[in-house]
Chain A
Amino acid sequence: MSEVKVNKISPRSGTDVTLGDSGDTFTIPSGATITNSGTATGFGGDNTPSFLAYSTTNISLTNDTYTLPTYNTEAWDTDTAFASGVFTVPSGEGGKYLFWGGGYFALEADATSRLVWYKNGVVQDQFRAYGGRYGSAQDLPNSGMALFDLSATDTMSLYVYQDGTTSKNLYYAFFGGMKLIGV
């Protein structure tokens, strides 16, 4: 093993400095520090896949029915993994994900709304979000967040529910999610 001790490494004019070749490993020993004051790219990954969908039209919700909303707008969908209200984890993208969603529910007096997360078509009760129950008919918001450890091909969807006596509208429905890094 040989050791090079220098104070500065600079590229030759008109070139970049490259460290090693594909497959090589450079180890930063415990206790060592790398200080960056410039621009670093490619470290730590990014929060993709990520998507955000929302609806610009009202969605009619049949009472006492868990309904999968149809979102007519996708703000972004980095991996084209979201379609028809369902997010499918792409190949090689398993990991922990954060999802959030909700909307405004036009509720009858004393009615409630629910947000329920489904993983692979199975309800995930630990993240149910309840809203509503007001003495008179009101438009009331309900939103929720959930974290899941997912594998490739797993699906996630958000169902909404209202327990009035007739069909009611859901306004401003939205559903988004992203992969977490570092966990």
Chain B
Amino acid sequence: MITSNGLKKLGFTPEEDFSLRDDGDGPYIHDWMSASPQPSEAEIEAADAEWQAEYDAHEYARLRATAYAPIGDQLDMQYHDQQDGTTTWTDHVAEIKARYPK
């Protein structure tokens, strides 16, 4: 299948090098604007598979990013840890890293 992620993995930029459209039967290249030759569907699919593997490998990072407390709250944790000699902030970060391991 033609995907933007596959084309981006090959170094092309949406709306600058290509434009995809889906009229109901799946995405296709509607406009090819790049000066470089248009890659084949097989090349795009192979690049998309590579992109997907990298994306999946970073699932833990996306989960961690949404699980961490807002930056303001973390600064507050760090302030009180320094004032009170506690480890609230470190515990918070460690718990999320353990919950979503690499």
Answer yes or no: A66 CB below 8 A from chain B CBs. Answer: yes
Near A by CB (< 8 A), chain B positions 1-44 give 3-5, 8, 14-15, 19-24, 27, 30
Decide yes or no: A62 and B21 within 8 Å by CB, A163-B14, A165-B55 being known contacts.
no
Contact A68 B55 (CB under 8 A): no
Contact B4 A63 (CB under 8 A): yes
What B residues does A63 contact at CB under 8 A?
4-5
What A residues does B4 contact at CB under 8 A?
62-65
Near B by CB (< 8 A), chain A positions 64-95 give 64-68, 70, 84-85
Contact B3 A68 (CB under 8 A): no
What B residues does A64 contact at CB under 8 A?
4, 8, 14-15, 20
Contact A65 B5 (CB under 8 A): no
Q: Which residue of A has the minimal Cβ distance to B18? A: A64
- Interface residue tally on A, bucketed by range: 10 to 19
What A residues does B66 contact at CB under 8 A?
137
What A residues does B22 contact at CB under 8 A?
62, 65-68
What A residues does B55 contact at CB under 8 A?
165-166
What B residues does A100 contact at CB under 8 A?
none
Q: How many residues of B contact A (CB 8 A)?
A: 16
Q: CA–CA, A65 to B21, complex, Å? A: 5
Partner of B20, one of A62, A68, A84, A166: A62
Answer yes or no: A172 CB below 8 A from chain B CBs. Answer: no
A155 to chain B, nearest CB (A): 12
Q: CA–CA, A68 to B22, complex, Å? A: 6
Q: Which residue of B has the minimal Cβ distance to A62? A: B27
B49 to chain A, nearest CB (A): 15
Contact A66 B24 (CB under 8 A): no
Q: CA–CA, A85 to B21, complex, Å? A: 14
What B residues does A65 contact at CB under 8 A?
4, 20-22, 27
Answer yes or no: A130 CB below 8 A from chain B CBs. Answer: no
What A residues does B20 contact at CB under 8 A?
62, 64-66
What A residues does B3 contact at CB under 8 A?
62
Q: CA–CA, A165 to B66, complex, Å? A: 16
Q: CA–CA, A120 to B94, complex, Å? A: 57
Near B by CB (< 8 A), chain A positions 30-51 give none
Chain B interface residues (CB < 8 Å from chain A): 3-5, 8, 14-15, 19-24, 27, 30, 55, 66
Interface pairs (10), CB distance under 8 Å: A62-B4, A62-B20, A62-B22, A63-B4, A63-B5, A64-B8, A65-B21, A66-B20, A68-B24, A165-B5
